[in-house]
Structure 1
Amino acid sequence: MSTSHTPYVLVHGAWHDGRAWHRVAPLLAARGHRVFAPSLTGHGDKAHLLGPEVGMTTHVDDVVGLILDEDLHDVVLVGHSYAGMVISTTANRIPERLAGLVYVDAVVPAHGETAVDVMPVTQLMIDRAAGGDEPWRIPPMPELPAPRGLFGVTDPADVAWLRSTLGDEAVRCFTQPAETDNPAQGAIPRTYILCVGDEPEGITRRPVPATRPDGEPTRIHELHSGHDCMITRPAELAELLLESAVASVA
């Protein structure tokens, strides 16, 4: 694979939409790469499609459909936060299309695990929603005092912009299990980018795997940033994503 025109597919996390990548995508494109940052079903231009039937597999269908419709090959597939579930299952379905997986402060599931299994605090949000008029609908997490902010974003202008892009998430996104049982997905190079320094209290990060399923080593980078590093540290994140493409063909 030549890295000069690598296709990147950037998958946003829960409650966000494709606009979350608006500072990172141009940096990758400026280096000659094709960049796709779709909004998943129920978000952004697809917000009107949100309903109780939307789940994690719906979002996998979105990403798989994009890659196949655009006839993309040697894709670097990037997932932020909840989208670790999405890119893992996408890799299970179409491993032959992917050159690398990048988990950006993301959930890293084993086969059959749900987002709740990996991040148990999610169950509290599901339980809270269960007492409402629409128990399938989970609103975004609230803004916290600095330095936590809104998903780690603290600049007032950025917070206001980010808040305008957020939408509710369907419970099924957190309760549908990941699929990672295709042996072919185990050979895809993996990079983990961990946002460190401003971790919220009460949320424990599961250690990321030191090796991928076929025994080859993974790459782990730390980025001093709040959770939404694509907004707060776009240049640094873009450089790590560019490195991941090079490392995938090394």
Structure 2
Amino acid sequence: MAVTYVLVHGAWHSGQCWARVVPRLGASGSGVFAPTLTGYGETRHLLSPDVGLGTHIADVVGLLVGEDLTDVVLVGHSYAGMVISGVANEVPERIARLVYLDAMVPTDGESALDVLPIMRDMIGSDWRVPPPPAPFGLFGLTDDADIAWLNTMVSDQSALCLREPVAMDAPALAAIPRTHVHCTVTPPGVELRPVPAVQPNGDPADVRELATGHDCMITMPAELAGMLLDIGSQASARASAPAGAGR
């Protein structure tokens, strides 16, 4: 069974941030989609106070349904951990595996501010939230060319994205396998939640690491692509296995 990768960017970014990863995944023969969520990048003119987490969940659900995608390895970077959680709650039958890429991992009813309270300091009186300042800015990039490239795509986001809770109450959601990829070079004060030893579906936790900063798709695209291909092969093998055989 061939899997399809859907790569969902995090806050302030756009789908362009995956440009170094997409061709590496596509070379395997897999389908790859890297949409830009409403209000970012080339759609920044659509940003408004009403653009929130629900908007972005609808963006990705619309892609999956519109393209009739199934057996999807759904990858969410950073804030997009919230997005992919909501997407899987709405269309669990289309998802082969969730990949939380240095991402927020919520529980039912939580917002991004619940998952990462330090982000409360980034919200002022305006509905717009600009990209964060140092030490959180530049998202772990140190190369001048990488920084210049990233600066061509980052833009503001709506505070509603961070305040809106996610629903994760569909019974089928718990059956979807998960992989967590952690970037080990982190700014002070930023900590991801510990990953429970057992996944909601009863499998042992699958936690992997990349020795780089937060925007690993820019700094380590080959290594990330190789990791995603391995995750995809596992998802394919699992889906192809006879019922009850390691599923």
For the criterion TM > 0.5, the same-fold answer is: yes
Q: Which residue of 2 aligns with 1:218?
A: 205
- Aligned partner of 1:120 in structure 2 is 117
- Please give the TM-score of this superposition, normalised by the length of structure 1: 0.92
RMSD: 1.2
2:225 pairs with 1:238: yes
Matching of residue 90 in structure 1 with residue 87 in structure 2: yes
Matched residue, 1:182: 170
Provide the rounded CA distance (Å) in 1 between the counterparts of 2:199 and 2:208: 15
Q: Is the 8 A contact 2:177 2:201 kept in 1?
A: no
Larger displacement relative to structure 2 (240-249 or 80-89): 240-249
SS at match of 1:225: coil
Q: Which of the numbers 123, 130, 139 marks the counterpart of 2:130?
A: 139
- Return the alpha-carbon distance in structure 2 between the equivalents of residues 49 and 152 of structure 1: 28
- CA apart distance, 1:58: 0.3
Equivalent residues, number: 237
Deviations 1:1-36 (CA, angstroms, capped at 9, x unpaired): x13xx2111000000000010000110001101110
Change (3 A) 1:113 1:149: closer
Structure 2 counterpart of 1:65: 62
Q: Separation in 2 of the partners of 1:78 and 1:185?
A: 15
CA distance, structure 1, for counterparts of residue 158 and residue 24 of structure 2: 31
Q: Which moved more, 1:210-219 or 1:68-77?
A: 210-219
Match of 2:39 in 1: 42
* CA-CA distance at 1:195 after TM superposition: 0.2
Residue number among 101, 104, 107 corresponding to 1:104 in the alignment: 101
- Work out the CA distance in 2 between the residues paired with 1:15 and 1:36: 19
**154, 160, 179: which one aligns with 1:191:** 179
Aligned-pair CA distance for 1:205: 2.0
Could you say what secondary structure the match of 2:152 adopts?
helix
Secondary structure in structure 2 of the residue aligned to 1:103: strand
**Is 1:205 aligned to 2:202, yes or no?**
no
Q: Residue 23 of structure 1 aligns to which amino acid in structure 2?
A: R
State the distance in 2 between where 1:17 and 1:156 align: 19
Output one character per residue of 1:215-249: Cα deviation in whole Å (capped at 9) or x when no partner: 22231101101000000000110111111112223
The answer on 1:31 being equivalent to 2:31 is: no
Distance 1:208 1:44 in 2: 31
CA distance in 2, matches of 1:195, 1:211: 21
Spell out the pairing of 1:159-170 with structure 2 (5 A cutoff). 159-170=147-158
CA distance in structure 2 between the aligned counterparts of 1:245 and 1:192, rounded to whole angstroms: 13
Give the counterpart letter for 1:39 in structure 2. Answer: T
User: Which position in structure 1 is the counterpart of 2:19?
Assistant: 22
Give unpaired runs (5+ residues) of structure 2. Answer: 239-247
The answer to whether the 8 Å contact 1:107/1:115 transfers is: yes
The sequence identity of aligned pairs, in percent, is 55
Structure 2 counterpart of 1:70, one-letter code: E
Choose 86-95 or 149-158, whichever is displaced more: 149-158
CA distance in 1, matches of 2:230, 2:205: 13
The amino acid of 2:127's aligned partner reads: W
Once the two structures are TM-superposed, the CA of residue 163 in structure 1 deviates from its matched residue by 1.0
Unmatched segments (≥5 aa) in structure 1: none
Is this contact kept in 2: 1:189–1:218, CA < 8 A? no
* 1:209 Cα deviation after fit: 2.7
The answer to whether the Cα contact below 8 Å between 1:40 and 1:46 also exists between their aligned partners in 2 is yes
Are 1:158 and 2:114 matched, yes or no? no
